[in-house]
């Protein structure tokens, strides 16, 4: 993330101020940090790791991601879940692949087993209109007054991570920090 990034989503820009996208989101106790800019090299990485299933590539960014997590000192780390169908098809959640212990990966779940159209194939407006895809199971940690870090792969429109943040904030968290590999 550059020092000139949007303080709310991590988008690289020429000045440190809310980007046009973030000015349209309701203000809440959430912000995102993106470690890298989504560019051709990052696109090639995700194509090989996430879409072609090369699980060995999880190690490429693990150290930098874990170092940033350590610097944030969260009470709870939560990976964004994938649908059960994605787990069967791909065989892994690309986000939990980066995390050393699969932190808290069981209680934030997707409501549906499959998606009619994957997020990666949707245009911006369709992404923004996506209804809340997540739910909490009863087996989760106490969120009351805690800082939670949500880890995801790419912040595109912010809809997915903000849905998860909304749910976590509604259930008592003090604040939610998004940590994405790319923006």
Does position 102 have pLDDT exceeding 60, yes or no?
Answer: no
- Joined tokens for residue 25: 């989101």
Pair of tokens at residue 150: 């949500």
Q: What is the pTM for the complete model shown?
A: 0.87
Residue 140 pLDDT more than 90? no
Q: What is the mean pLDDT of residues 144-160?
A: 94
Is the pLDDT reported for residue 89 higher than 80? yes
pLDDT digits (tens, 9 = 90+) for 35-88: 999 999 999 999 999 999 999 999 999 999 999 999 999 999 999 998 888 888
With contact defined as beta carbons under 8 Å apart, do 10 and 34 qualify?
yes
User: Which DSSP symbol is given to 56?
Assistant: G
């Amino acid at each position: 993330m550059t020092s000139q990034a949007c303080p709310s989503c991590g988008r690289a820009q020429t000045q440190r101020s809310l980007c046009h996208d973030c000015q349209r989101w309701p203000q809440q106790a959430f912000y995102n940090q993106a470690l890298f800019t989504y560019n051709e090299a990052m696109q090639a990485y995700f194509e090989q790791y996430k879409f072609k299933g090369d699980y060995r590539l999880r190690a490429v960014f693990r150290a930098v991601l874990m170092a940033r997590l350590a610097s944030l000192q969260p009470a709870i780390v939560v990976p964004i879940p994938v649908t059960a169908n994605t787990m069967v098809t791909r065989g892994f959640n690309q986000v939990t692949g980066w995390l050393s212990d699969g932190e808290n990966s069981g209680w934030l779940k997707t409501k549906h087993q499959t998606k009619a159209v994957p997020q990666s194939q949707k245009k911006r407006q369709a992404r923004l209109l996506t209804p809340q895809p997540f739910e909490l199971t009863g087996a989760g940690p106490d969120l009351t007054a805690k800082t939670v870090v949500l880890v995801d792969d790419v912040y595109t429109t912010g809809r997915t991570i903000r849905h998860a943040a909304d749910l976590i904030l509604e259930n008592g968290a003090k604040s939610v920090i998004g940590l994405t590999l790319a923006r």
